[in-house]
Amino acid sequence: MIALIGQKGDMAQLYDERGVVVPATQVKVGECVVVGKRTQDRHGYDALQIGFGAVSKRKSSKPLLGFYKKAGVPPARSLQEIEVDKVADYSVGQKLGVGVFALGDTVHVTGITTGRGFTGGMKRWGWHGGPASHGSMFSRRIGSLGSGTTPGRPLKGRTQAGHYGVEQVTIRNLSIVKLEPEKGVLYVNGAIPGHRGGLVLIRKKV
């Protein structure tokens, strides 16, 4: 399995060979570099550590700066471990780009959803709401929370208003519909988690 860190861009409309509109999301993945390797002999598993983007030294801790210095690469904005079949095929400092994917590949995209602050139950959980007629007094607000004497408290798992968003979500079985290697950009059909400019992890389905 191979994966890359990318930065979410704008959504676009593409056309397939039949002239049908395909909604797609632009993802910039051209700045990934191998920072470290994990091997079966030394660490008990095979994986690559990849970094994405650049960040100033002031925003990195001293242990991380030493880690990047030992690898001979500049500090990265994001650092992730990904599983690969053969670690020996990669070297520290190697750049990974759009070329690791092919047109039509099926991928899973993981990202952090957009934060929506404190929201009510109708937006957060999809409540149907109460009557909207005059005098109902509870069109969008919460009603009774639980039973009376027994157990005398709301049961666990009750959906209520609260903080909504900023959660890790994976959208599975999306396909790559366009590649632009010269720009380090690929297009994934449909929508992916996060806000414009947010980081996502794109994993090729095995």
% of the chain surpassing 70 pLDDT: 100
Position 202 confidence tier, pLDDT thresholds 50, 70, 90? very high
**pLDDT tens string 169-193:** 999 999 999 999 999 999 999 999 9
CATH superfamily of 3-116+167-204: Translation factors (2.40.30.10)
Q: Where are the domains of the chain?
A: 3-116+167-204, 117-164
56-60 mean pLDDT: 82
- Across all residues in the chain, what is the average pLDDT? 90
Strand order in the sheet with 47-52: 78-82, 47-52, 32-38, 95-96
pTM: 0.85
- Tell me which residue of 38, 73, 34, 42 sits closest to 55, measured CA to CA: 73
| Residue-wise pLDDT tens digits, 99-126 | 899 999 999 999 999 999 999 999 999 9
Residue 25: per-residue pLDDT:
96
Mean pLDDT of 54-73: 86
Q: Output the pLDDT for position 149.
A: 79
